Structure 1
C-alpha cells in the first residue's frame, strides 16, 4: 500500500512541476533549497523570490506581443504594476527593471513615486495612472507631481467633482481618464461598482465637463471588474459594453486613444491550476479589433494594471508544526508557530487558498489534519486545500520536526496584515528574507527585516519611550493648536 506523502502527491497531481521539485525528501521552490533556508534563518519566516517578478512581467509582455502580431493590431501595449499589491521598495525596484509603468490608488503612493523618480527608477516618460477616490491630499500630491514636470501622470476620474478639484490644483493642461462603474455579478449584494462613473453617464459627463474645458484632455477609458479576467459570459458581456462606450466616445473625442483593461489575471493557487493566458489575451485583442472595425474608429493603445500577477507568485511563508492536539476521535490539530490571521490574512478574511506543501519528510507516512494558529481566535485556522476538502501532511512526530510552506503569497498579505505594526494577540511579525540571483545565476539571501520584538510592539502601544516620542510631539502640537483656537 502506498502510504508515503510523496505517493499521495504523485497520485493526486502531476509532480514535479516547473517551480516545485524534490531533492531527496526536501522540497525546492524555484530551485531554492527551502530546508537550508529554514536551517539558516529558523521559522516562522517569509520570503520574496525577486526574479519571479521580472519573469511574470516578461511572460505577459510576450503574450500581448504575440496577440498583437497575430491580429495585426495597430495599437501599443503598456504594462502597469498595481502598487497596492505590494508597496515594498525591493518589489518596485525589481518590477521597474522591466520598462513598465505604475498604477497608484492613494495619496502616499505619489510620495513613493517621487522617491523612485529621485532615485532614477522612474523616468519622465513613465506613465503614472492614478486610480481611487481622490481626497484633498491625493489631489495635492498628483498636482505637485505634474506641476514639477511629470506630464505622463494620468488621473483616472472616479467621481463628478474630481475634474474641478484637479483643474484648480494643476498648473497648465493635463490629461485624464474616466473609470467605468462596471455592473457586478448577480452574486454580489449590489448591482454596480462604487468605483467610477456609470456606463450611461460617461458620454454626458465628457460633454458637460471635459469637451469644452480647454485645460483638460481625455486620453483613457478605464475598465475593470472585481472578479478579474475570466473566460465566462459575465466578463465578455462587460467587455462588449465597455467597447460600445469606447467607440461612442472616440467618435466625439479625438484625443481618446487608450483603453485600460485593469488587472485581474489569476495566479497559481493549486497544483491543479490551469488558465490559458494566451487565449484570453488573444480574444480580448480580437474583440477590440472587431468592435473598432465595425464602428470605423482607430483601435486604442492597451494598458493593463497587474498587481497580484506581478508579485503574488514571488512570495512564500514557512512555519514549523509545534505540536499536535487530538481534540476528538477524528480531528487532529497541527499547531503552527505563528498565526494565519496575522501573516496570511486572506486565508480567514476571504477564505483564500494558497498552495501548501511540507518542506521536509516527503518519504514519511501521511495523515489528515487541521492547521491551527497561535492566537486565541476561533478563526485562526486552515482546513482545506483548493482541490481537496482536507489537508494531508506527513505524520506528526515529536522527535522529527515538520516544516510546511505556503506559496504564491506575495500580494496584499503584508499590507492587509498591518506589516510592522500591531498584530492580533501581539503575535510578532516573522522575519522576511529577500532571495535574488547574482550575475552568475547563484542564489543570494538578504535579511530584509528581523522578527518583531516585544519593544517594537510596546513602543506602538505607548509603553516604550522610543516608540512614544513622535506621538508625544503630535500631542503637544495638537494642544498648542487647540489653545490657540480657544483664545
Structure 2
C-alpha cells in the first residue's frame, strides 16, 4: 500500500517537473537544494531565484517572435516590466539584462527610473510607460524625465484633465497614450473599470483635445484586462472591441502606431497548472493582424506589461512546522513559525493560490492538515480555499523537524506586506536570500535583508533605538534548526 508522501504526489501529479526535483528525499527548486539553504540560513526564510526572471522574459520574447514571423506581422514587439510587482533593485537589475522596457504607476517609480538612468541600466531609448491616476508629484516627475531628454517616456492618459496638467509642466512636444476603460467581468461588483476613458469617448476626446494640440502626439492605445490574458469569451470579446477603437482612432490619427495589451499572463499556482502561452500569443497576433488588414490600416507595434509573469515564479518562502494542535476529531493544525498575513498577504486577502510542498521527509507517511500562522488573528491560516485542494504533508513528529515551502510568491507579497515596516502582531519579516548563478553555472547566495528585530519595530513605533533587545520571536518560538 502506497502511504508515503512521495507516492501521493506521483499518483496525483506529473512529477518531477521542470523546476521541482527530489534528491535524497529532499526538494530542489531549479537545482537549488532547499534543505541545505534552510540549514544554512534558518527559517522562516524568503528567497529570490534571479535566473528565473530572465528565463521568463526570454520565453515571452521567443513566443512573440515566433508568432510575428508566422503571421508576417509588420509591427515590432516590446516587453515592459511592471515595477509595481516588485520594485527591488535586484529584480530590476536582472530584468534589465534582457533589453526590456518599464511600466510605472506612481510618482516614486520615476525616481527609480532616474536612478537606473544615472547608473547606465536604461537609456533615453528605453520606453517608460506611465500608468495610473496622475496628480502633482507624479506629473512633475514625468515632466522632469521628459524635459531631461527622455522622449520615449509615454504618459498614458487616464482622465480628461491629465493632458493639460502635463502640458503645463512639459517643455515642447511630448508623446502620450490613452487607456481604454474596459468593461469588467460579469462577476465584478462594478461594470466598467475606474481606470481610463470609455470606448465610445476615445475618438471624440482625440478630436476635441488632442488633434489640434501642437504639443501632444498620440502614439499608443492602452488596453488592460484586470483578470489577465486568458482564453475566455470575455477576453476575446474585449480584445475585439479594443481593436475596433484602435482602427477608428488610427483612421483619424496617423501618429498612432502602438497597441499596449496590458494585463498579465497567469503564473503557475499548482503542480497541475496548464496554460498554453504560445497559443494565446499566436492568436492575439493573428486577431490583431486580421482586424487591421480587413480595415485597411497598418498593424500596431505591440507592447505588453508583465509583472507577476516576470518576477512571480522567482520567489519562494520557507517555514518550519513548530507544533501540531489537534483541535477536534478531524482538524489537525500545523503551526508555522511565521504569519501568512504578513509574509504572504495575497493568500489571506484574496485567497490566492500558491504551490506548497514539503522541503524534507518525502519518503514518510502523510496526513491531512490545516496550516496556521503565529498571529492571534483567526484569519491567519492557509487551507483548501487557498490551496488547490486539501493539504497533505508528511506526518508531524516532534523529534523530526518538517520544513514546508511556498513557491512562485515573488510578486506583490513584499510590497503589500509592508517590507521593512510594521507587521501584524509585530511578527518580523523573514530573512531574505538572493540566489544567482555565476558564469560557470554555480549557485551563489547572498543575504539581501536579515529578519527584523525588536529594535527596528521599536524605532518605527517611536520608542527610540537606544538598545536593540533582539528579535521579536523568543527562542521557544523559533527552535534551533534540526538536522533531522
What TM-score do you get using the length of structure 1 for normalisation? 0.95
Question: Distance between the aligned counterparts of 1:402 and 1:442, measured in 2?
Answer: 27
1:263 shift after superposition: 2.8
Could you list the runs of 5+ residues in structure 2 that have no partner in the other structure? 468-484
Asked if 2 retains the 8 angstrom alpha-carbon contact of 1:85 and 1:311, the reply is yes
Contact 2:347 2:386 in 1 (8 A): no
Question: Residue by residue, what CA displacement relative to the aligned partner does 1:291-319 show, whole Å, maximum 9, x if unpaired?
Answer: 10011000000000000000000000000
Give me the CA root mean square deviation: 1.0
Give the CA deviation at 1:465: 4.4
Alpha-carbon shift at residue 220 of structure 1 (Å): 0.1
Separation of aligned partners in 1, 2:361 and 2:465: 46
1:80 paired residue number? 80
Query: Partner of 1:69: helix, strand, or coil?
Result: helix
Equivalent in the alignment of 1:413: 413
Matching of residues 15-414 of structure 1 within 5 Å = 15-384=15-384, 388-414=388-414
Residue deviations 1:426-456 (CA, integer Å, cap 9, x gap) = 0000000000000110000000000000000
Helix, strand or coil at the partner of 1:184? coil
Instruction: State whether structure 2 residue 11 is matched by structure 1 residue 11.
Output: yes
Aligned to 1:484: none
Instruction: Tell me, yes or no, if the aligned pair for 1:269 and 1:386 is still in contact at 8 Å.
Output: no
Which whole-Å CA distance do the structure 2 matches of 1:182 and 1:271 have between them?
A: 32
Q: Distance in 1 between matches of 2:386 and 2:287?
A: 32
Give 5+ residue unaligned stretches, structure 1. 468-487
Partner SS, residue 285 of structure 1: helix
In 2: Cα distance, 1:355 partner to 1:304 partner: 26
Does structure 2 retain, via aligned residues, the 8 Å contact 1:355–1:385? no
What whole-Å deviation, never above 9, does each CA across 1:103-162 have from its counterpart, x for those lacking one?
000000000000011000011100000000001000000000111111100000000000
Distance 1:154 1:256 in 2: 12
Residue 464 of structure 1 and its aligned partner are, at CA, apart by 1.2
Task: Work out the CA distance in 2 between the residues paired with 1:135 and 1:90.
Answer: 29
The alpha-carbon deviation at position 35 of structure 1 amounts to 0.4
| Equivalent pair of 1:27/1:33 in contact (CA under 8 Å) | yes
Equivalent in the alignment of 1:482: none
Task: Specify the alignment match of 2:457 in structure 1.
Answer: 457
In the TM superposition, residue 466 of structure 1 has moved relative to its aligned partner by: 7.4
Contact 1:174 1:215 in 2 (8 A): yes
Instruction: Specify the SS of the correspondent of 1:283.
Output: helix
| TM-aligned CA deviation for residue 264 of structure 1 | 1.6
- Runs (4+) off by over 4 Å: 385-388
Partner of 1:472: none
- Identify the residue that residue 478 of structure 2 maps to in structure 1: none
**Matches of 1:39 and 1:231 in 2, distance apart?**
42
50 and 428 in structure 1: CA distance in 2 versus 1, 3 angstrom threshold: same
Task: Check 1:291–1:121 CA distance in 2 against 1; reply closer, same or farther (3 A cut).
Answer: same
